[in-house]
């Protein structure tokens, strides 16, 4: 709440309305806020409450980079021929070059990254939840059938295989409850970062988050298992390099809130 930069008296009122649930700090009642805060304070608190920890990732490419390993990793989904010329041109630069990894994402993910559903003219944009996002990651145009939870379950069982070990770029990471039902799905990018949309909610943007931050968002629903699924028709990338490594990264926080500036 300190991030909202409120007067100490208002901040004290808000702290009395918070409680903990597992490891999460929760807020008791949004509807009471207009009665205890000024209009400006209210707007500041709402923006703070809906703020999401997001990151901007950059891939560092040098003349010494293992180009075959980079192309194999970032070119998954049948995109190696598209990715290779771009990465090779960066490697020819005399200085170390870093690029936003948004340039390496498939079109559906790249265009939605850091946007809200309200930015899209699609009337079904607000219904596009985590499973729609994850299963459409390599698809262009996206498939509207992934708005149907029953279809998603069947498709995941038929077209994907659960894989052990470290995930690779484009793998679908699913949080499951005790009954084996999916609570949330996101897409592994690299290291500890995932591409995600946290729920069917107009205030939830498409972002890149740390896996640890994303898991915190779902602690109240008590997921008991994290499973990694890989599309069957996409062959796994086998090389002498660490399977989960997509190169060297630079990253910085990028605040995502319910306001679009």
Residue 202 is predicted with a pLDDT of: 85
Predicted TM-score (pTM) of this structure: 0.81
The predicted-structure confidence for 119-131, as pLDDT tens digits, reads as follows: 999 999 999 999 9
User: Three-state SS for 187?
Assistant: strand
Q: What is the pLDDT of residue 255?
A: 47
The dihedral through the CA atoms of 151, 157, 160, 163 has a sign that is positive
pLDDT tens for residues 8-46?
A: 888 888 888 888 766 667 777 778 888 888 888 888 887
Q: Tokens 């598209």 label which residue?
A: 82
Residues 53-112 pLDDT 10s: 899 999 999 989 999 999 999 999 999 999 999 999 999 987 778 999 999 999 999 999
Q: Which of these, 256, 175, 191, 201, lies nearest to 60 by C-alpha position?
A: 191
- Domains of the chain as residue ranges with CATH: 2-49 (no CATH), 52-58+102-256 (3.90.1720)
Sheet containing 172-176: give its strands across.
160-162, 225-231, 172-176, 182-190, 193-197, 206-210
Instruction: Quote the tokens at residue 9.
Output: 């008296």
Geometric angle at alpha carbon 210, from 206 and 216, rounded to 5°: 90
Of 193-197, 199-203, 215-219, which gets the smallest average pLDDT?
A: 215-219
What pLDDT does 241 receive?
38
State yes or no: pLDDT of 260 exceeds 90. Answer: no
């Amino acid at each position: 709440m300190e991030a909202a930069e409120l007067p100490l008296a208002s901040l004290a009122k808000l702290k009395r309305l918070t409680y903990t649930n597992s490891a999460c700090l929760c807020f008791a009642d949004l509807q009471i806020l207009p009665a205890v805060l000024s209009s400006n304070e209210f707007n500041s608190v709402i923006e703070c409450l809906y703020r999401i920890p997001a990151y901007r990732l950059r891939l560092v490419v040098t003349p010494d980079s293992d180009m075959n390993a980079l192309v194999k990793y970032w070119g998954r989904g049948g995109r190696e021929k598209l990715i290779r010329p771009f990465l090779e041109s960066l490697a020819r630069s005399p200085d170390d070059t870093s690029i936003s990894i948004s340039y390496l994402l498939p079109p559906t993910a790249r265009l939605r990254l850091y946007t809200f559903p309200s930015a899209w003219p699609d009337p079904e944009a607000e219904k596009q939840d985590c499973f729609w996002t994850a299963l459409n990651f390599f698809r262009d145009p996206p498939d509207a059938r992934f708005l149907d939870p029953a279809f998603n379950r069947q498709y995941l069982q038929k077209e994907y295989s659960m894989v052990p070990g470290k995930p690779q770029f484009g793998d679908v990471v699913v949080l499951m409850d005790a009954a084996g039902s999916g609570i949330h799905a996101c897409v592994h990018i690299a290291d500890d970062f995932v591409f995600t949309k946290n729920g069917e909610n107009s205030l939830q943007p498409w972002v890149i988050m740390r896996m640890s931050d994303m898991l915190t968002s779902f602690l109240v629903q008590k997921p008991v298992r994290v499973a990694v699924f890989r599309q069957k028709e996409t062959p796994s990338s086998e090389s002498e390099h660490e399977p989960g490594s997509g190169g060297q990264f630079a990253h910085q926080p990028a605040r995502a809130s319910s306001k679009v500036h």
